[in-house]
Amino acid sequence: MTSASPLQIADDDDGFDWEAAVKEIDVACQSANPLTSLPNYPSSSHFVPLQNNCNYVSSSNKILRKPRAYKQSTLHSFIGKGVGLEHPHENPVVDDPDQQVAVDGEDERVSCVGIDVEAAKTWIYPVNVPLREYQLAITKTALFSNTLVALPTGLGKTLIAAVVMYNYFRWFPDGKIVFAAPSRPLVMQQIEACHNIVGIPQEWTIDMTGQLSPTKRACFWKTKRVFFVTPQVLEKDIQAGTCLVKYLVCLVIDEAHRALGNYSYCVAVRELMTVPLQLRILALTATPGSKQQAIQNIISNLHISTLEYRDENDPDVSPYVHNRKIELLEVALGKDAVDINKQLLEVIRPYAARLSAVGLLQNRDYKTFSPPDLLNSRDKFRRAPPPELPQGKYGEIEAYFGGLITLYHICKLLSSHGIRPAYEMLEEKLKQGPFARLMTKNEDIRKVKLSMQQSLSHGAPSPKLSKMLEVLVDHFKTNDPQNSRVIIFSNFRGSVRDIMDALSNIGDLVKATEFIGQSTGKALKGQSQKVQQAVLEKFRAGKYNVIVATSIGEEGLDIMEVDLVICFDANVSPLRMIQRMGRTGRKHDGRVLLVLACEGSELKGYMRKQANSRAIRKHMHNGGINSFDFHSSPRMIPHVFKPEVQFVKLSIEQYIPRGKKVKDDSAIQTPMFRAKLNADEVALIAKYFEPTSEKSWRPSLIAFPHFQAFPSRVHKVMHSYRTDMLIDTMQYLQNLSFSGESNTFFTEGEIASGKCLGVDTVEKEDNDKDPLIWDESPSTKSQKKVTDSEVSSLKSLRTKEQNVLDPQGQRPAGHSYLFGSEFVLLPLKEASQTNCTSPSATVLLNCLKPNSCHLKNPGKNYEEQTVQGKSSPDIITSWVQCETSVALAMSKSNLQQETTLDQVEKFPETSVLKKIISNEGDCVGEALNCLEIKVPSLHADEYDNSNELSPRLTNMIQSGFVPESPIDIGLLNGKGRNEFLATDVSPMKLCAELLSKSQSPRKNDIAISSSSCQRDVSISSINNECHTPILKENNVVRTDGCTSISPAAEETNTPLANLTKNSLSKDWLPSSGDKSENVEQARKFKRLRKIGDVDRNRNPEGNKDKSLAPIANLGRSFSDISPNQIKYCKGKRKLTGNARTFIEEEAEVSSEAEMSDDEKDDSGNSSYDDSFIDDRTNPTAASIQAETSRVDMMAVYRRSLLTQSPIERESNSYITSTPDCGNSVSRRNESKSSSVKTLCSFQTPQPDSANDSARRDTDSFCSTERMSAAMPGITSHSVNENERQLESRKRKLSFCQPGSIPVINLEQKFCLQSDAGRKETFQQGLAENLDANAEVFHDDQFFENLDLDAVEAQATLLLKHRSKLSVQKQDVAPKSDAQNFDLQSSPSFDLGIW
């Protein structure tokens, strides 16, 4: 039949009675009894196949390709053994044909697990770690029979398991291997350990604990091959059928000593054994049991057929056993404890005596009893109550037993853990239950409790605790706290807490944590497994160096560095003692196990149990063959194969914890590219991609809402319709918020416009103020040493500017930035807005506060700077003067404001006052404060007005920006309207300037400084202190005006574009182009801050044009802007190179220019440009013009230098005007130069008129300003001039605005303006009228704009305008020739217009 079997296998579908065969085998398996009689059951025998089998195998060799065939042989061997063992008398007749057939049938059933023939020829033993003989021997055994490995801790049980698993993994390509460990931490530890030993590919391994949902586990059972599970999971899944039992080939059971009773191990194995399958079981333990019976139970439960036992004394093991010094520290009980113990015994005595009397308790010293003794006695009593005892007494006896058990337990606690745990237990027991009933009336127990309380209130220093602390401190003195680890075991959670408390007091050396089980009691909360894992991880990593553990820490924790184990209680089972000891000495010699035992019962118990454990070892020697009954087990590998050991050095990949498996790719890849990164980049990545956290950084879409109110700059991809929708929505939303309060940060389209307006107003105000101050200061300067003061002021200004810049910088950091230029502006705008919007004097405070600390900071900085400035004597003097002048200016400004520009002026004033107040309060002094206070009081009314006006203004602005609401502007009162309109227009410019400033300030510190010089001169000491946001703004504005007018224009373009976007989406595209240009310009500006000044100079024209253009854009189209911008850009670029060289000069010039109105500034800039231009070659027409004017300019410039700045300013303005005119530049220049002188003469008269008229003489203002500028050098018009200048500045501002507007609008306006300017010089009312006209024109324009939706139409209009403008200019030039004043004024206007 042997020969027939292969055939049968080949066609297994024949009519063989498989059922019968299966049954037979099942019976054989189930009836398999423990192997008793196989004294020679050498593992090598597995390698010796039976002869029959040999034949069989050889005959079936050809079929071996089929996986099933192999089963056959395995089964065969199995049955052979089983039968042989089961029926010793039957002998190996097993091979009778029928049996074989049956075996074949069985094979069919189990055939799903195939053997890899090639792999089965060898078994692999890794030599990555040094080979140990005993491990090799045990592994060899374990491969071929179910083995219980009892190996002392730390000798590498896991390696054996891993090797066995690995080989089964190799042999059975479809087989599934299970490793069961009793706790989750152990599972996690073992999966890693196994991986590191044999490197089973991680895609095949999985750890499954109760945390995985059963459904997921079911999935894994199907897809994975090596499972690291908890026994509970294994049990449940086997019962649920999700575990594919049929495929199981190997089961490893860690900590097998737990396989007692109904523990999951036993259940799982039982379940597996009901299925007829072959399974290799490998059980691992360090402590199989303390009794022979227990070990036998394990062997039976786990179907063990071989016991591999080694202990430290075995010759093949001993070399690897690290010396462990076990120290027994005897600790005397504390005096308190002794007393309490006595008292407790007193309590116990009567009960024990009574029980003894009944004969239920051994008649011995009641002090020697222990709870187990009593338990045994009670059991005995329950089983066989003494007959002489009446039934009624039973309850009483039970109560006594219970009470005594509790009491003895408390005694034990007292001796081994101290008073506190004992006390807690006693208290708890006394609260309820039978013990409480028994003891409530007992006086002695109350005394015990009392004395416990007393000693506790004294701190209850347990001798053990103090000893332990001593030991710990000693240990960490001799060992590095970083590398040394200590585990303290305590059997009792209460004492864990006590130990923790004690450890917390001994300082930094000890970083202790507790490590306890999950169950949560009344007093103490358990640790979740997650926490446990975390604790272990940190312990491993060194974040903790002491663990205070309960029994949970006793098993399996493999922590190499542990070099001290302290057993806080000694009276535990030897099993646990061994496990505890096993936590140390795993890597090195000389590790210490400290046992703290109290004298007395605890010590005795310890001794007894040690002796006990020694005895059990004897049983296990020689494989325990004499002592235990073993089961049979399948060989699994056919006898055909005689796997030879093959020593292989395995290449093992880095173990990756499963939690991160999802991110396998990134986890693996990151290191690769990370290697190419430098530290900074890695840090940057770490900042946004937290490596440890699950979530990687995700960009926020809502982080910068205000940025979404403006279209972002685009590169190639234009904004989509949806983006526009988004922007509109955001603007709408933010608008609401804006109106709701003075939210400075949220600038949306309209809001932005509003802000711009506010800023403009503020700027205007500032400008007005500045001029005033300036005028005053010049006077003072002129009187004193102007140069010195200027220098100092320049310094201070620079610092101030820098400060301003800083705050801005801070803001951006804190908040989100709008577009580069815009974001800088925003703060300013915000400040201005806050000022404007918030109605009351509080506004000032608000400005300071809400606008953010930045303002305050700057203010402080300013103060400091001012202080510095003060240090310079000149400055101080000027300071006083400045104060006075400020007061004057304030009054003037108030008057002016009240009369005409109340609102606008008030705003600046308010802001200035605020700033002044704050600054002065800090720095200046009482006098200033007084002035300030006065000023505020004066201005309070104005403030109110301004406040009221401010909303209107904002509305106006918005309306102005949005062509739709020109009517509103018109609605404003004549003067107010005019002014407002002017302001509106100017605001545009101002905004632009501000923007430019904001942009430039950061980069263009130098430029700012130069511009600031002017400011400084004007504001000088007074302003320095006062340098509040307004000042900053002013400074910035002025500087910008001087330097960055063009930038401003650019910036304005962007805002305008935004506005236009808001208003007209159609216009957007052209505007976007403009914007992009603007951006470029801005960049250039940044780069060329110094240059920026020059650029600004050039830009003035451009700026004017730009400002006009923006307005036009607002009203009409943006197309105009773009050309202007482009020109500017060119001019700027060219200028930039030149500018640097002239920075200093420019600074002076700019300061002078700043002194003059915006126009003057422009002119000043232009003059600078010209001067710079000399060096350069101006590419643009403007530059050419400038060049043409250069000669004149140079002369003027020199003069101005000689005369101080004013002349230059004038010249500058002239120059600028000339460039604007373009064609008539030369004429203008000449006229200007000539006019300068004439102007001077004229100016004198004008000032008076200007003073009288105050503000509206735009032309006259310009002239007056120029005159004044010229004058200071020559004469002393200080007060009048100052006033005039101030007025003129205001006027100029207004002029420029209206002028620009009209220019933008139509030539007609321009003409009117020029005419008006002429008239205005002598008649204020006329000027007003003109302004009104201008406004009317504006309105018309606006309407026109509204009408003209199409860009083309706008473009055409623009073209027309240009032509008209040029014509106008030409006209103006002649006019200027005719009249110096007219010329001056007109050119300037032209410039502005252009």
Number of residues that bind other proteins (CB under 8 A): 48
Query: Binder to other proteins among 127, 615, 714, 736 (CB under 8 A)?
Result: 714
Output the CA–CA distances (angstroms, integers) from residue 289 to 150, 159, 578, 1163, 1251, in the order listed. Answer: 10, 22, 11, 103, 112
Of 713, 856, 975, 1198, which one interacts with other proteins (CB under 8 A)?
Answer: 713
Determine the Cα–Cα distance for residues 948 and 94; give it in Å rounded to an integer.
Answer: 113
State the angle between helix axes of 1181-1203 and 1225-1243 in degrees (0 to 180), rounded to the nearest 10: 30
Taking CB under 8 A as the binding criterion, the range among 378-386, 513-521, 720-728, 1163-1171 that sits at the site for other proteins is 720-728
Is 682 a binding residue for other proteins by CB under 8 A? The answer is no
Determine if 1082 is a binding residue for other proteins (CB under 8 A). Answer: yes
541 contributes a contact to other proteins by CB under 8 A: no
CB closer to other proteins, 852 vs 1368: 852
668 binds other proteins (CB under 8 A): no
CB closer to other proteins, 1040 vs 1152: 1040
- Phi and psi at 1021, nearest 5°, equal -65, -45
The residue type of 1376 is S
Report the residue number, 719 or 764, with the smaller CB distance to other proteins: 719
Counting Cβ atoms within 10 Å, is residue 524 exposed (0-12), middle (13-18) or buried (19+)? middle
Of 66, 409, 621, 1083, the residue at the interface with other proteins (CB under 8 A) is 1083
Nearer to other proteins, 673 or 688 (CB): 688
Least distance in Å: CB of 735 to other proteins?
A: 18
Interface with other proteins, residue 854, by CB under 8 A:
no
Q: Residue 694 CB, nearest distance to other proteins (Å)?
A: 15
Q: Least distance to other proteins from the beta carbon of 1191, Å?
A: 38
CB distance 282 to 157 below 8 Å: no
- CA neighbours within 13 Å on the CB side: how many for 448? 30
- Are the C-beta atoms of 888 and 776 separated by less than 8 Å? yes
Interaction mask 944-983, other proteins, x per CB under 8 A:
----------------------------------------
Region of 194-202, 480-488, 1076-1084, 1283-1291 interacting with other proteins (CB under 8 A): 1076-1084
Structure tokens at 677: 């990164």
Query: Given the rule CB under 8 A, which of 194-202, 313-321, 695-703, 1207-1215 is the region that contacts other proteins?
Result: 695-703
**Distance of alpha carbon 1003 from alpha carbon 1089, whole angstroms:** 6
Phi and psi at 207, nearest 5°, equal -105, 130
Q: Which of 172, 265, 515, 707 binds other proteins (CB under 8 A)?
A: 707
Of 394, 647, 673, 697, the residue at the interface with other proteins (CB under 8 A) is 697
Q: Is 740 in the site for other proteins (CB under 8 A)?
A: no
Give 901's DSSP letter. I
- Nearer to other proteins by C-beta: 217 or 1227? 217
* Candidate segments 165-173, 966-974, 1082-1090, 1224-1232, binder of other proteins by CB under 8 A: 1082-1090
Least Å from the CB of residue 844 to other proteins: 30
Which SS3 state, helix, strand or coil, does residue 313 take? coil
C-beta of 219 vs 1279, nearer to other proteins: 219
Ranges within 625-664 binding other proteins (CB under 8 A): none
Smallest separation, CB 715 to other proteins (Å):
3
Can residue 693 be called a binding residue for other proteins (CB under 8 A)?
Answer: no
Position 242 contacts other proteins (CB under 8 A): yes
Closest CA to 1210 of 961, 1383, 1007, 977: 1383
Inter-residue contact 1391 to 1101 (CB < 8 Å)? yes
Is 1339 strand, coil or helix?
helix
- Lay out the site mask for other proteins across 1296-1335 (x = CB under 8 A, - = otherwise): ----------------------------------------
Spell out, one character per residue from 210 to 229, where the chain touches other proteins: x when CB under 8 A holds, - when not.
---xxxx-xx----------
688 binds other proteins (CB under 8 A): yes
Judged by beta carbon, residue 394 or residue 689, the one nearer other proteins is: 689
**Residue 665 engages other proteins in binding (rule: CB under 8 A):** yes
Q: Specify the DSSP class assigned to residue 310.
A: -
> What burial letters (b/e) apply to 565-580, b meaning 16+ CB within 10 Å?
bbbbbbbbebbbbbbb
Work out which of 403, 553, 754, 820 binds other proteins, going by CB under 8 A: 820
Asked if 1267 and 1246 touch (Cβ cutoff 8 Å), the reply is yes
CB of 1073 to other proteins, least distance (A): 15
CA 506 – CA 512 distance, rounded (Å): 10
Residue 206 binds other proteins (CB under 8 A): no
The one segment of 589-597, 946-954, 1081-1089, 1124-1132 that binds other proteins by CB under 8 A: 1081-1089
At residue 631, what are phi and psi to the nearest 5 degrees? Answer: -95, 165
733 binds other proteins (CB under 8 A): no
Give me the least distance between CB of 998 and other proteins, in Å please: 10
Instruction: Provide the sign of the torsion angle of the four alpha carbons 500, 502, 505, 510, taken in this order.
Output: negative
Pick from 355, 404, 333: nearest CA to 375: 404
CA distance 964 to 959: 6
Residue with tokens 């980069």: 1003
Min dist CB 1089 to other proteins, Å, is 11
Distance CA 640, CA 70 (A): 9
Three-state DSSP class for 563? strand
Q: Which of residues 1185-1214 bind other proteins (CB under 8 A)?
A: none
Distances from the Cα of 1324 to the Cαs of 771, 777, 979, 999, in angstroms? 19, 26, 13, 37
Neighbouring CB atoms inside 10 A of 1044's CB total 42
Distance CA 179, CA 194 (A): 10
> Helices marked H in 244-314 — which ranges?
264-274, 292-301
The Cα–Cα gap between 1116 and 966 comes to 13
Among 711, 1041, 1272, 1302, binds other proteins (CB under 8 A): 711
Give the range of 598-606, 623-631, 724-732, 1314-1322 binding other proteins by CB under 8 A: 724-732
Distance CA 755, CA 834 (A): 9
Sole window of 351-359, 650-658, 693-701, 1321-1329 interacting with other proteins (rule: CB under 8 A):
693-701
1003 binds other proteins (CB under 8 A): yes
Calpha distance 26→273 (Å, rounded): 10
* 1089 lies in the site for other proteins, by CB under 8 A: no
Instruction: Give the binding range for other proteins (CB under 8 A) out of 120-128, 183-191, 256-264, 997-1005.
Output: 997-1005
At closest approach, how far in Å is the CB of 719 from other proteins? 6
Burial class (CB in 10 A: 0-12, 13-18, 19+), 1201: middle
Establish if 701 lies at the interface with other proteins (CB under 8 A): yes
Contact call for residue 700 and other proteins (CB under 8 A): yes
H or E element that contains 177: strand 176-180
Calpha distance 29→81 (Å, rounded): 11
**How many Cβ atoms sit within 10 Å of the Cβ of residue 837?**
24
Nearer to other proteins, 809 or 1179 (CB): 809
| Whether 1351 contacts 996, CB under 8 Å | no
Q: How far apart are CA 490 and CA 554, in angstroms?
A: 10
Q: Which of 134, 166, 819, 1214 binds other proteins (CB under 8 A)?
A: 819
Scanning 262-270, 670-678, 717-725, 1013-1021 for contacts with other proteins by CB under 8 A, the matching segment is 717-725
Binding site for other proteins (CB under 8 A): 213-216, 218-219, 242, 665, 688, 697, 699-704, 707-708, 711-720, 722-723, 725-727, 809, 812, 816-817, 819-821, 823, 999, 1002-1003, 1079, 1082-1083, 1086
